[in-house]
Structures are given as C-alpha cells and as structure tokens.
A and B are shown apart, each in its own frame.
Chain A
Amino acid sequence: AQSVSQHNHHVILSEAASLELGCNYSYGGTVNLFWYVQYPGQHLQLLLKYFSGDPLVKGIKGFEAEFIKSKFSFNLRKPSVQWSDTAEYFCAVNRNSGNTPLVFGKGTRLSVIA
C-alpha cells in the first residue's frame, strides 16, 4: 500500500520568504502526485498535480512542485509567500491505474506572519 510522509508539521515564515514543503511517498509502481491546500474553514482545493511529462509542475497562486523519481519525492515550493498563504497543505498520491483513491500525508500547517 502507498504511504505519504510530510516532514514538517508546522512551518512559520515571514512574508516574502521562500517556501519548501517536503513530501515523500512509498510505492514502487507508477503514481500520480498531488498537492492540496485547505484554508481555514474551507474545503480542500487542488494546487497542482503531476502524472507524467515534465517533472517540474506549476500550479495556482505561484506554487510549483518537482517530482524526483529517484528520491520518491514531490516537494512543494513557492519563491515568496504571502500572508494569504496561511493554510494547511496536504500531499497526496494514488496509483496510476483504475479508480484508486488518494492517500494523504499528515499535512503541514503554514503560518505566514507579516
């Protein structure tokens, strides 16, 4: 079975700082990778996804993530965070076959301070 590890439980950054959130997964086969964001009081929203092609994917709101197959990693980055990026970030993976559900990491809470 797949599993997803997010290394940082809570990250606190000042506005304009750069962000990198770690995500590693364990699964030997082909996977699809996702990052979701959950703003306070809201439902999960898709930031970006990777399923094939260029391993560097760009998402909404200036976020990007890089798939490094050899490291089983899919880290999320943003060059300059804003206060409005304060949220919970979830990395998720599913097998690239059939109608398989997403398996989520524990999430990383990002707090951006002015």
Chain B
Amino acid sequence: GAVVSQHPSWVICKSGTSVKIECRSLDFQATTMFWYRQFPKQSLMLMATSNEGSKATYEQGVEKDKFLINHASLTLSTLTVTSAHPEDSSFYICSARDPGPSSQPQHFGDGTRLSIL
C-alpha cells in the first residue's frame, strides 16, 4: 500500500535553531501534501496544505514565515521550523493523499517529535 516516509522521527535542539522535516511519498506521486501538528492528548490540527510547484496554503493562525514549506517535487515536501522556540515543541505529522478524488484516503507519516530546549 501507499507509504509516506517522514524524517527525522525525533529532534532535540536548542532554542533559536531551525529544523527541517522531510516528507516523502514512497510509491506514489503526491501533488498535494498536508502538514499537521499534534499536541499531547489532542487531535491533529492542520497547519498547511503543500502544493507541488506553488506556494503552500496556511491555516488561520499559522505563521508562514515561521513554518516554511517547500514542495519541490511530486514526492517530497519539507517543513522548516525557523528559529524554533520551546513553544514550537510538538509532534508534526505529514500526510499525502492517493491521486484521484477527495474520497481517496490520506496516508500518514510516522511523525516527527520536536523538542526545543
């Protein structure tokens, strides 16, 4: 089945560091990928929709200059958390949908746990 690979799985870094998270669709092409954030014991909150070859669409309240998204190819989207601070510590999950209509399921990566000291 379709697989989404996310890397790294865990990052611990100092405040002020920028962190890049990669999301790859391994056996299908994804023109659109989605980035979610999940706080402990809470649901997944959509941060942005990443579109191959164009600018990402950010949800209300998500700082586009803080969370830089690049979708340079049909199989790779990256999320860069710039100048990360402790409040950015969270679980970040990427997702990609099988090509086709909106009824196609989204496939999820294993997530990246980001801890900012």
Binding site for B on A (CB under 8 A): 32, 34, 36, 42-46, 49, 51-52, 90, 94-107
Q: How far is the CA of A105 from the CA of B46 in the complex (A)?
A: 12
Partner of B105, one of A49, A95, A103: A49
A105 touches which one: B43, B108, B109, B110 (CB < 8 A)? B43
A107 touching B43 in the complex, CB below 8 Å, given contacts A99-B32, A99-B97:
yes
Interface class of chain B by DSSP: strand
Of A46, A95, A103, which is within 8 A of B46 by CB?
A: A103
User: How far does the alpha carbon of A17 sit from the alpha carbon of B32 in the complex, in Å?
Assistant: 40
Chain A CB within 8 A of B12 CB:
no
C-alpha spacing A105/B44, complex, angstroms: 8
Tell me which residues across on chain A come within 8 A of B77, comparing CB atoms.
none
